[in-house]
């Protein structure tokens, strides 16, 4: 649920729970509801920063994709923290969350490799291979790119 709410819109995350409607149904609802990423983009737009309508009205069940115009809006925030102090703080907290989440993923991967090696995972995945690919998931793509452009 945490991954889905943050913006990892991978329907495969729901598969291990299909036999449990009490778990699967809330996950499916979250998959089709705005993620933290989507809500952040809406907040940027509400504050008058440029976010393409296509980004605000996209299929919520799809993962986030980098968009140059969103990057420009975050650059505006970072270049003028006096005006956008709350958005600057939000951006930093989102990066903190994703940074910690990446660390958790890495620790999960190394624990799995240490305990079961490269056997299939308990959730029906390929195990360590799946977890290694999960390390590449980026939840807030423009926020990770912004420093390159500052």
- The ranges assigned to domains in the chain are 36-149
The answer to whether the CB of 90 falls within 8 A of the CB of 43 is yes
The answer to whether the CB of 13 falls within 8 A of the CB of 4 is yes
Sorted by sequence, the CB contacts under 8 Å of residue 145 that are 6+ apart come out as 66, 71
Q: How far apart are CA 96 and CA 114, in angstroms?
A: 27
CATH number of 36-149: 1.20.58.480
User: How much is the pLDDT for 42?
Assistant: 97
CA angle 34, 138, 90 (to 5 degrees): 60
Q: Is the pTM of this model over 0.85?
A: yes
Per-residue pLDDT in tens (0 to 9) along the chain, 150 residues: 998 999 998 888 888 888 999 999 999 999 999 999 999 999 999 999 999 998 999 899 988 789 999 999 999 999 999 999 999 999 999 999 999 999 998 998 888 888 888 777 776 677 787 788 888 889 999 999 999 999
Nearest in space to 5 (alpha carbons), one of 23, 26, 25, 31? 31
Dihedral angle of Cα 16, 17, 19, 21, to the nearest 10 degrees? -170
Question: What value does the CA radius of gyration of the chain take, rounded to a whole number of Å?
Answer: 17
């Amino acid at each position: 649920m945490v991954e889905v709410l943050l913006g990892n819109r991978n329907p495969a995350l729901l598969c291990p729970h299909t036999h449990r409607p009490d778990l699967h149904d809330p996950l499916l609802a979250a998959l089709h509801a705005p993620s933290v990423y989507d809500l952040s983009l809406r907040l940027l737009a509400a504050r008058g920063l440029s976010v393409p309508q296509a980004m605000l009205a996209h299929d919520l069940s799809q993962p986030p994709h980098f968009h140059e115009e969103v990057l420009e809006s975050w650059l505006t925030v970072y270049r003028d923290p006096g005006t956008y102090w709350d958005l600057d703080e939000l951006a930093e907290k989102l990066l903190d969350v994703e940074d910690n989440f990446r660390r958790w993923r890495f620790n999960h991967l190394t624990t799995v490799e240490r305990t079961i090696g490269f056997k299939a995972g308990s959730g029906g995945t390929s195990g360590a291979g799946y977890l290694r690919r999960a390390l590449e998931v980026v939840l807030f793509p423009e926020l990770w790119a912004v420093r390159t452009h500052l």
